[in-house]
Amino acid sequence: MQKSRVILVILVVAFVAAALAAIVYSTMDLQAFTVESCITYNGRSGCGIAAGATREEALGSAATIACSGLASGMSESIECSRTEPDSIRWIDE
């Protein structure tokens, strides 16, 4: 009985380790693009740095971050994030 418990523990530990390895491996290359985007909205300027799997995803996230301090409310946040950036700097491509 003791031997079967040891085997069970080893199998559980191996399964958990394999699951963690799969998660780490699958997320390693998701952030292929990193960008800094600066936006002026309602006379105020802000910049945001974000990463994403695609260029569009990274730009959208950076705009959302830049607008987080510039806009108040959902409508302004959406309007701000659709504003053409003043500058875009690609950090990782």
Kindly report whether the global pTM for this prediction surpasses the value 0.75. Answer: no
- The H-assigned helical ranges of the chain are 2-27, 55-67, 74-81
Domain that holds residue 17: 1-28
DSSP 91: E
Task: Identify whether residues 38 and 78 lie together within a single domain.
Answer: yes
Can you tell me the distance from the alpha carbon of 87 to that of 63, in angstroms, rounded to the nearest whole number? 11
80 and 50 in a single domain? The answer is yes
pLDDT for 6-20, tens place per residue?
888 887 778 778 777
Assess whether 50 and 69 both reside in one domain.
Answer: yes
State whether 23 and 48 are in the same domain.
no
If we measure between CA atoms, which residue out of 66, 20, 6 comes closest to residue 42? Answer: 66
Residue 32 CA from chain centroid, whole number: 10
Considering the domain architecture, whether residues 41 and 72 belong to the same structural domain is answered as yes
* 27-73 pLDDT tens trace: 665 668 999 999 999 999 999 999 988 899 999 999 999 999 898 88
User: Number of structural domains, the chain?
Assistant: 2
- Going by C-alpha positions, the residue among 5, 61, 6, 16 that lies closest to residue 88 is 61
Q: Are 58 and 37 in contact (CB under 8 A)?
A: no
